[in-house]
Structure 1
Amino acid sequence: MARFIVPIAVALVGAALFGHGAFIHAKAIVAQVLLDRAFSRTIATGQPVKPWSWADTVPVARIEMKRLGVSTIALAGSSGQALAFGAGHVEGTAEPGETGIAVYSAHRDTHFRFLRDVKVGDEIDIVRRDGRSFRYRADAARVVRFDEFGIDPQADEAELVLSTCWPFDALTQGPERYLLHATLIGDR
């Protein structure tokens, strides 16, 4: 009897784990659709629009990389709850297009998965919630400890940093972060 129960139990646990993983990715995809709608309404009305009634954040930007066919909505703040649904604009950092460094963070296995394919010279477009668009050029990437970012939000130029966990293919969170740096090259 145990010969039948153990394989069935293992299969059920495997199915549950697979289902949980699939749910997380499905939630990220559905959330981006709702976030995209809320972001479009935010631009149209000039007022922040929540993506769903119980949301504790609002969409603040769209990050696009045409070469990679990527577009993702960023939320206000970088709390764990915000990052569960999209990239987050790190509190206390500049707005895109303004003097200083605008910093966005997201998970390496969902919204910032594309960072592994970005090359120096690639262009990144940011559309703000007020509808203004800015183009940046990726100029450097580095790996740092989570507590040693070395980012000076008071930089003299308009700059952008996209941040995610490192290494890209790790199964658990580690102490290192991947930072992609880009410099403003103009309005779009």
Structure 2
Amino acid sequence: MNVAILRTAPLWSNRLKEVARGRGLLVILLLGLCLTGLAQIACGLYIPAKAAVAQVLLDRAFDRSRVDHAPRKPWPWADMTPTARLVVPGLGISRIVLDSGSGQALAFGPTLLPGGAALGQAGTAVVAAHRDTHFRFLRDMKKGDLIFVQTREGLERRYRVTGAEVVRWDGYAVADAPLGERLDLVTCFPFDAIRSGPWRYVVHAEAVSR
């Protein structure tokens, strides 16, 4: 009897080792899956967090620029400066508009596109931003909503939304100056899309007297 037990002992020991190895591999696999999931979550939160922090720094730089009406960089290596503050009181929205229309600038905030008019001047000023961060609120804007704009030069304007439309990027045309002082807010469409496409969502607004 004792001999049989001694003979089977190595077999049980080997099985226990195999089970331990299997559990170890399973634990490693689960840890790997958890780390992968955390990395995906971190990537998803990075862009919104970056946009939020950038707006704080841009807001401070804009306040400084309003004092002497001169461009102020939000951080030393920035290649753009705040040019205006855009406010939609009905939605509780406040955004700093940048003076560069580059793709890099779009990562930090709405930008004034060079193809349109200057803010506060005759013609159509065009401001663009990403649909998943700074211009996500465009989907909630309605005809008649008010938009307030302050420029670093001290100009203040009030615009009223006249409507919105979906157009292809190559079918969008800025309205001519004779139509008066206007403002277009542009972002990609659809709002819940993951990949970039050819469609743009444009909110049209025109200047109104106080």
* TM-score interval, normalised by the smaller of the two chains: over 0.9
Q: What corresponds to 1:15 in structure 2?
A: 38
Q: What corresponds to 2:187 in structure 1?
A: 164
1:5 is aligned to 2:28? yes
User: Do the aligned partners of 1:78 and 1:89 also contact (CA within 8 Å) in 2?
Assistant: yes
TM-score, normalisation: structure 1 = 0.94
Measured after TM superposition, the shift of residue 23 of structure 1 is 1.9
Measured after TM superposition, the shift of residue 10 of structure 1 is 2.1
> 3-state DSSP class of the match of 2:51?
helix
Unaligned 5+ segments in structure 1 are none
**Structure 1 residues 116-155: aligned runs within 5 Å:** 116-152=139-175, 154-155=177-178
**Structure 1 residues 72-87: aligned runs within 5 Å:** 72-87=95-110
**Residues 155, 106 of structure 1: CA spacing in aligned structure 2 closer, same or farther, 3 A cutoff?**
farther
Cα distance between partner residues in 2 of 1:131 and 1:16: 44
TM-score, normalisation: structure 2 = 0.85
Q: What corresponds to 2:55 in structure 1?
A: 32
Q: What corresponds to 2:7 in structure 1?
A: none
Cα distance between partner residues in 1 of 2:109 and 2:44: 17
Cα distance between partner residues in 1 of 2:102 and 2:195: 18
- Structure richer in helix, relative to its length: 2
Measured after TM superposition, the shift of residue 151 of structure 1 is 1.9
User: Do the aligned partners of 1:102 and 1:159 also contact (CA within 8 Å) in 2?
Assistant: yes
Cα distance between partner residues in 1 of 2:201 and 2:180: 21
Task: Please tell me the root mean square deviation across aligned C-alpha atoms, in Å.
Answer: 1.3
Q: What corresponds to 1:98 in structure 2?
A: 121
Which protein is bigger by CA-based radius of gyration? Answer: 2
Measured after TM superposition, the shift of residue 155 of structure 1 is 4.3
Q: Which moved more, 1:116-125 or 1:14-23?
A: 14-23
Cα distance between partner residues in 1 of 2:169 and 2:116: 17
User: Do the aligned partners of 1:94 and 1:153 also contact (CA within 8 Å) in 2?
Assistant: no
Paired residue total? 187
Measured after TM superposition, the shift of residue 153 of structure 1 is 5.0
Identify the structure with bigger relative contact order (alpha carbons < 8 Å, sequence gap 6+). 1
- Structure richer in strand, relative to its length: 1
User: Do the aligned partners of 1:105 and 1:163 also contact (CA within 8 Å) in 2?
Assistant: yes
User: Do the aligned partners of 2:116 and 2:174 also contact (CA within 8 Å) in 1?
Assistant: no
Cα distance between partner residues in 2 of 1:28 and 1:42: 20
Cα distance between partner residues in 2 of 1:67 and 1:57: 29
Could you tell me which amino acid in structure 2 is paired with residue 171 of structure 1?
A: I
Cα distance between partner residues in 2 of 1:21 and 1:153: 40
Cα distance between partner residues in 2 of 1:66 and 1:124: 7
Cα distance between partner residues in 1 of 2:32 and 2:183: 49
